[in-house]
Structure 1
């Protein structure tokens, strides 16, 4: 293979695929050496000299100059007598190292095949490396793909340059997708494997809901509104706590959007998953009351050390506050990271935990909570 042609191939690979130039030459030297040994059948010590400026290459066998070669010696193949060495250069003496050019005359074809092998290998490695670099930087992000096929309840998603994997455990129960359906997923993990990068996707991760709000609500994207906490029981119900430093900004209203369009877009994307948007507050009592949306709360008592609370709700709101199979109370506890014990007013009075024992929410706070629990909280 002509050195100029080899050099042009290397430079093209470096330019198009952004592969390190020296890495390509190192690989070429190794492959050329392997090809020579296979072609010649020689086990002698050999090396490749590849000029990285011209692309010209030579293959050398390395010999130790000795007075006499002992044929039964293991190193005999790597030795040359002083007499033979002096035929090459009269200055050689016993103990010197000699390099002999053994480049086969018709080695161009072999070299071309070896170079092609390296190019294919490096193209594959470069492609895998760039895909890994691209997607590893997107862990925790939302990505849109196209459903390709489904096998053993695992969905494979076309992400453009690579397929993403949506395992059954990361799918929302009851969701069904057909080939060519568009799908938004959370990039859960990017793994390096011998077959290339593996992109693990999720539809159940709370991060998906958070990122969807960031994409849908400009105030969150700009930092005006902050997402404090997100919890999900994917496919059923979610709660998200939001906060705005500027008291003039309504964080719940911003997330709900005009006529509820912003939150509705997210609900549609998650196939009618119910979403409660609640106002975060540094006062745990107020925050817990908000978190129990859409239920109305009479009072909340908190014990800081135990991170526990006692919530009183109107009798007719008890089942709503607890939720089906305890879901509303369970999500509120996860959202606030507080233990929540909910009692109706009748139960509280029977237990002797009435108004004198509990921290009532004043009228202004109750008004705010009831406002937030209206159209802004999705039932």
Structure 2
């Protein structure tokens, strides 16, 4: 085998395919070993080595070095086999190279062009590969079409046979951060930092930001002049609403900021269970909770606290109910119940997940007493959940009955409207039948008017004599007064008399 040819192949694959030269050398060596075993038998121990510096090939058979002509023979006989092995190794090397390249880009935003749109995923051309955007990683309600440009973050890279599967996402909070970095220069420069993001894709996101320079307003910089900066991000995210929250290291202040536009009266932190009780006025309650609980849910994710929204009266009721309920548990006194409530434990469910060591320390209890208390709390929590489920079921039944009654009422109202409309149409038809004619007379009066006109015309004609040479006596053709006569009969009678 020509050493220079081997070196040329290795160098060419390294430059064109970005494959490590060592991988190519190993592929050629493996191909020559396969060819030698086919010639000498599978049981034969064959070793092949290629000098990396000059491309010279050396081989041994059962520990005995082979002559150059034997190596040439092996190369000729196993050329096709060697080619297939090398091709396979090259494909594997290309795949590994792509995996390494794109694995380093996980979390980065890429621009791609939609190639195919299918029900479960769309195929996106990204650089030299085809990436996949599954339906689960697409923003709800959006659709994509071939040749459309799309931006997404790389969330997974894994081998799939001889190919590489790169998975994209448009639902991750990281996409929001990358868009902020692209659209807002202060974030790209490090003057403004994105501290936390909570997102419900396609609906709403909360982004907490802070400024390293007190002269730079972090919220105003993110919004931009007339909202231009944030509008570009909103348009990219299919009109998803974005709230910019001013970050604060004080959890109470941060929670208040995160719940805006609702006005917060007080924030009570229960560190032991990671709960924040937020007190608001009655008129701010629905605004703080948000539609279907979205505002408080996103605020909880953003701040890392379990936030509960209530009014001061509701808190007093819960405290009283919790103290009374805990005091009824065997082995717990009112003082311990009060201390638990002060730490934010407001229900049996809270008490059932308390750390035994914490309860032992708070009440000076033994491990057996703590287990007994927790067991009772678990049973009462289960009973409370069962009662709550029954109440929810009762309310659903009431809602269904109310809806059915409303639909029945609407149907009756619709039938009544239809009947009224029919009656109105009938009255309108009767009114049209007696509507005045052009000369102001009703239909029943037409005959009398026309009869009068006909009589006058005949009298006028008779003064000039008869056209047929008669003696000039007036010929008067009176219209009949019998029912059924009309203006048309009068005109006909008048025309006939005039002809005579």
1:4-43 superposed matches below 5 A:
4-39=4-39, 43=43
1:146-197 deviation digits (Å, cap 9, x = unpaired): 2222345122221122222222222221111112211111211222444333
CA distance in 2, matches of 1:225, 1:114: 60
CA distance in 1, matches of 2:10, 2:319: 84
Distance apart, 1:13 and its partner CA: 1.9
CA distance in 2, matches of 1:112, 1:165: 38
Residue number in structure 1 paired with 2:46: 46
Does the C-alpha gap of structure 1 residues 44 and 195 become closer, same or farther in structure 2, counting only changes over 3 Å?
A: closer
Residue number in structure 2 paired with 1:357: none
SS in 2 for 1:272: coil
1:74-93 superposed matches below 5 A:
none
CA distance in 1, matches of 2:38, 2:298: 67
1:50-129 superposed matches below 5 A:
50-57=50-57, 60-62=60-62, 98-101=64-67, 103=70, 109-129=76-96
* 2:213 maps to 1:246: yes
Which deviates further from its counterpart, 341-350 or 290-299? 341-350
1:122-164 deviation digits (Å, cap 9, x = unpaired): 4323322221122111111111112222345122221122222
CA distance in 1, matches of 2:91, 2:230: 43
Residue number in structure 2 paired with 1:154: 121
CA distance in 1, matches of 2:95, 2:272: 51
Does the C-alpha gap of structure 1 residues 313 and 3 become closer, same or farther in structure 2, counting only changes over 3 Å?
A: same
Residue number in structure 2 paired with 1:326: 293
Give the alignment partner of residue 179 of structure 2, picking from 189, 205, 212: 212
* 2:200 maps to 1:233: yes
Normalising by structure 1, what TM-score?
A: 0.74
Normalising by structure 2, what TM-score?
A: 0.57
Does the C-alpha gap of structure 1 residues 339 and 41 become closer, same or farther in structure 2, counting only changes over 3 Å?
A: closer
1:128-207 superposed matches below 5 A:
128-207=95-174
Structure with the higher fraction of residues in strand conformation = 1
Unaligned 5+ residue runs, structure 1? 63-96, 354-379
The answer on whether the counterparts of 1:172 and 1:203 sit within 8 Å (CA) in structure 2 is yes
SS in 1 for 2:31: helix
SS in 2 for 1:207: helix
CA distance in 2, matches of 1:37, 1:244: 69
CA distance in 2, matches of 1:324, 1:51: 72
SS in 1 for 2:127: coil
1:283-305 deviation digits (Å, cap 9, x = unpaired): 22221111112223344343444
Distance apart, 1:203 and its partner CA: 1.3
Does the C-alpha gap of structure 1 residues 170 and 131 become closer, same or farther in structure 2, counting only changes over 3 Å?
A: same
* 2:257 maps to 1:290: yes
The answer on whether the counterparts of 1:60 and 1:103 sit within 8 Å (CA) in structure 2 is no
* 2:228 maps to 1:261: yes
1:9-56 deviation digits (Å, cap 9, x = unpaired): 122223433433333222212211212333566754333354444444
